[in-house]
Amino acid sequence: MEAEKFTFKYRGDLEYIDFDTLYTSQLHFAEFIREVKNSLAPDYDLKIKLRALPPASFPIELFIDFKQVTNLITSGQDILNNVGGIAGSVVVIIELYKHLKGKKSSKEEIGENNTTNIYNVKGDVFVIDSSIYSAIKSNPNIQSELKNVFDKVDKDDDVESIQLLDSSNEELSSILKNEFEYFDVKDNLFEDTEGIEREKYKLIEFANLNIFKVVFSKGFKWQFYYKGIKINAEIEDNDYLIKVVKGSMSFSNGDILVCDLAIKQVYNEFAGTYENKEYKVTKVHKRILRAEQLNLED
């Protein structure tokens, strides 16, 4: 299979380009290409080569070189033949993001000849090869690497647009500055989260929190270690706080509060799991001094 070539061009009034923008965006774009390849053509090895830059110019010419690594091709062959290989798949994914404009699709339906029809919130349809769409949905790294590319270039005021060109310097895709935000989205655009709670609270009764820092003012957060992780938590047990403020007890680092701990969890669509975002101590049952903790198990 011949190497595919296309050009990633930073457009604007550019004689120089910020090194961090160039390095970071190209690093993540290369990883984006690899993730597309991993999903669509896992039986091929991939090398991405860069042509040396001419003076005062910032078109990045990428050569995507495939090499079969197994005798039996089990996946990806049809997609490589039908949509112009990995470079074609990359462009299709970018155009899908532009079509959705940072929002989830309003409707999806099976089309003809192994395609899927994707409708945006305005009701416009985008027809995509079902193999590519399946790859996007099943591999969140494709989305996260593309997000990282545009997160970086969006912060560079000198870059006005990104243009992708084919081997004949014909435009494959153009992404304007005001479209960069379509790629820098927090949520997974392609996961069905219907019926999943966005936020929830988990209550841990009689949790052991090792005290690291005490804050005596109400509404401020104490610092603890909980199962090896440093956390900040507000004490909401007013009766206990009154005793603390009155000075009826002293604390040392390593003392343990045995308490009820409420954990606010927010669903991360990219990871497909809940993240702990906030901690609150709703009730303090007792304090165990550091000197009394021999043979104590959490």
Q: What is the pLDDT of residues 125-151, one digit of tens each?
A: 998 888 888 888 888 888 888 888 998
More confident residue, 30 or 83: 30
**Distances, alpha carbon 219 to alpha carbons 234, 237, 241, 281, in Å:** 6, 11, 10, 12
- Minimum mean pLDDT range among 6-15, 168-177, 243-252: 243-252
SS3 call for 62: strand
Confidence band of 283 (pLDDT split at 50, 70, 90): very high
More confident residue, 218 or 44: 44
pLDDT by residue (tens digit) across 49-69? 776 555 544 566 666 554 544
Q: Which of 200, 196, 204 is nearest to 231 (CA)?
A: 204
Percent of the chain with pLDDT over 70: 80
From 3.40.50, 3.30.1490, 2.40.50, 2.60.40, which CATH number describes the 199-292 domain? 2.40.50
For CATH 2.40.50, list the domain ranges present in the chain: 199-292
Please say if the pLDDT value at position 258 is more than 80. yes
Helices 19-40 and 85-100, axial angle in degrees (round to 10): 110
